[in-house]
């Protein structure tokens, strides 16, 4: 069954679905321990939801696959993460709210340091300050004109990271990266990976050379490494596919960007988890699908900080009564992927998930944790099918066949 199959069965109704997503929720015990971050956290509210609902373990992309945030979220929203994979450039552009146009080519750029012999000595240019990045992007924007593209845009992301966009040319994303991925190596001249991409590779070479010229007076940030090439792409929206009126409640640009790609309305100006709950309540009547994104679980996991990740989970648990008070028809609590503090990064481990609704069959998961989800009635499932199960519990899918 492909993820498009359910589209023919969609019925619109007023039932409300909330997806509460703790980024990087799945974990591992610390060395010598026996409990994950979620199992260590005191989560009386989540435990109650798990006991009354149905639980399971979900694979974002596939067995053994460690997903980036893009594929993990696409799966969560019911989009096949292999079919809908996109280059990092497009996620950056969406996240920054860049006004995308058909034909645009997006790329992720790192300010980096070239030494006198033309080798990369620092791939992050000393993690330069965001303000410096902004000044350099302005300088590049004012000085660079390309012969191979009508327009070029330089947009600061954060620290050493930027977005570069080429517009006005017949571009392809099938080109090689300029980032050698190691220090002590020169910048790589981009090449077309298919014959039709040769002119795009030439544009990226021209861009790379002109950036080095324009930044020649800089000591640290004197070049850009270019990767994550992605063409403009239109995704079928969650409204068209599932009949939903979806709202994204997130604090970080990238997650707002991913939500925009699948057609969600995005609440702007949120900074804290408390802000997010306020936004949920304020918009509850106007939408019927709510994606609430909690970033800190992933950040503390990436930091390798087990104890702080536990605290974030406990904080989220304390907000559950406010969400339950809204009486949603379906409440799903899970993550997008695992980020065990033990590994200080994303991992391939399956994700614990709970679904609470009136039509849940009792199962063996009496609290919310990776081990108890092993006894959950959802079993082990590909993440891309979770949306269909949520729609079913909300009465939003009609019967298939006579």
> Which positions touch a copy of itself (CB under 8 A)?
1, 5-6, 9, 28-29, 31, 34-36, 57, 61-72, 81-82, 85-88, 91, 108, 228, 340, 342-343, 346-350, 358-359, 361-364, 370-371, 374-375, 377, 379-381, 385, 388-392, 397-402
Closest contact distance (angstroms) between CB of 369 and a copy of itself is 10
Closest contact distance (angstroms) between CB of 168 and a copy of itself is 25
- Helix pair 273-283, 306-324: axis angle to 10 deg: 20
Closest contact distance (angstroms) between CB of 28 and a copy of itself is 5
C-beta closer to a copy of itself: residue 66 or 199: 66
C-beta closer to a copy of itself: residue 218 or 336: 336
C-beta closer to a copy of itself: residue 87 or 335: 87
Residues 286-297 as b or e (16 or more Cβ within 10 Å = b) = ebbbbbbbbbbb
CA distance 18 to 356: 10
Structure tokens at 150: 């009508």
Structure tokens at 293: 């994104």
Closest contact distance (angstroms) between CB of 69 and a copy of itself is 7
Q: Which of 62, 6, 3, 24 is nearest to 400 (CA)?
A: 6
C-beta closer to a copy of itself: residue 13 or 375: 375
CA distance 91 to 88: 5
Q: Which of 280, 279, 376 is nearest to 327 (CA)?
A: 280
Alpha-carbon distance values, 218 to 110, 156, 221, 321 (Å):
15, 17, 6, 53
C-beta closer to a copy of itself: residue 169 or 352: 352
CA distance 48 to 51: 5
Are the beta carbons of 310 and 333 closer than 8 angstroms?
A: no
Which bin fits 282, alpha (ψ -120 to 50), beta or left (φ > 0)?
A: alpha
Q: Tokens 């509460």 belong to which residue? A: 20
3-state secondary structure of 298: helix
Beta-bridged to residue 156, according to DSSP, are 162
Radius of gyration of the chain (CA): 23
C-beta closer to a copy of itself: residue 163 or 319: 163
Closest contact distance (angstroms) between CB of 150 and a copy of itself is 27
C-beta closer to a copy of itself: residue 294 or 365: 365
Closest contact distance (angstroms) between CB of 131 and a copy of itself is 25
Closest contact distance (angstroms) between CB of 332 and a copy of itself is 12
C-beta closer to a copy of itself: residue 179 or 218: 179
Closest contact distance (angstroms) between CB of 213 and a copy of itself is 29
């Amino acid at each position: 069954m492909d993820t498009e199959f359910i589209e023919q069965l969609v019925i619109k109704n007023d039932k409300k679905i909330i997806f509460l997503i703790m980024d990087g929720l799945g974990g591992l015990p610390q060395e010598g321990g026996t409990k994950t971050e979620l199992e260590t956290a005191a989560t009386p509210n989540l435990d109650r939801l798990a006991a009354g609902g149905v639980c399971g373990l979900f694979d974002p992309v596939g067995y053994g696959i460690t997903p980036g945030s893009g594929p993990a979220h696409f799966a969560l929203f019911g989009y096949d993460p292999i079919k809908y994979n996109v280059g990092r450039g497009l996620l950056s552009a969406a996240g920054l709210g860049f006004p995308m146009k058909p034909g645009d080519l997006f790329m992720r750029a790192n300010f980096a340091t070239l030494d006198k012999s033309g080798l990369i000595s620092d791939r992050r240019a000393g993690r330069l300050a965001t303000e410096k990045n902004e000044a350099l992007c302005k300088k590049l924007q004012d000085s660079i004109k390309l012969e191979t593209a009508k327009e070029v845009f330089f947009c600061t992301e954060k620290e050493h990271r930027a977005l570069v966009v080429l517009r006005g040319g017949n571009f392809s994303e099938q080109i090689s990266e300029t980032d050698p991925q190691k220090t002590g190596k020169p910048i790589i001249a981009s090449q077309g990976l298919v014959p039709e991409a040769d002119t795009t590779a030439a544009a990226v070479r021209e861009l790379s050379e002109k950036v080095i010229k324009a930044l020649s007076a800089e000591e640290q940030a004197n070049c850009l490494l270019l990767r994550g090439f992605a063409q403009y792409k239109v995704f079928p929206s969650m409204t068209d596919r599932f009949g939903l009126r979806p709202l994204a409640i997130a604090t970080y640009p990238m997650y707002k960007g991913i939500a925009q790609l699948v057609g969600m309305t995005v609440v702007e100006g949120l900074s804290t988890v408390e802000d997010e709950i306020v936004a949920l309540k304020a918009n509850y009547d106007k939408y019927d699908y709510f994606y609430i994104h909690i970033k800190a679980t992933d950040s503390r996991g990436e930091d390798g900080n087990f104890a702080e990740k536990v605290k974030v989970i406990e904080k989220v648990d304390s907000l559950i009564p406010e969400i339950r008070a809204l009486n949603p028809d379906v409440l799903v609590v899970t993550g997008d992927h695992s980020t065990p503090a033990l590994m200080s990064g994303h991992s391939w481990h399956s994700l614990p998930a709970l679904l609470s609704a009136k039509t849940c069959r009792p199962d063996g998961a009496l609290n919310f944790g990776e081990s108890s989800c092993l006894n959950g009635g959802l079993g082990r499932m590909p993440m891309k099918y979770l949306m269909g199960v949520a729609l079913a519990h909300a009465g939003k899918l009609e019967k298939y066949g006579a």
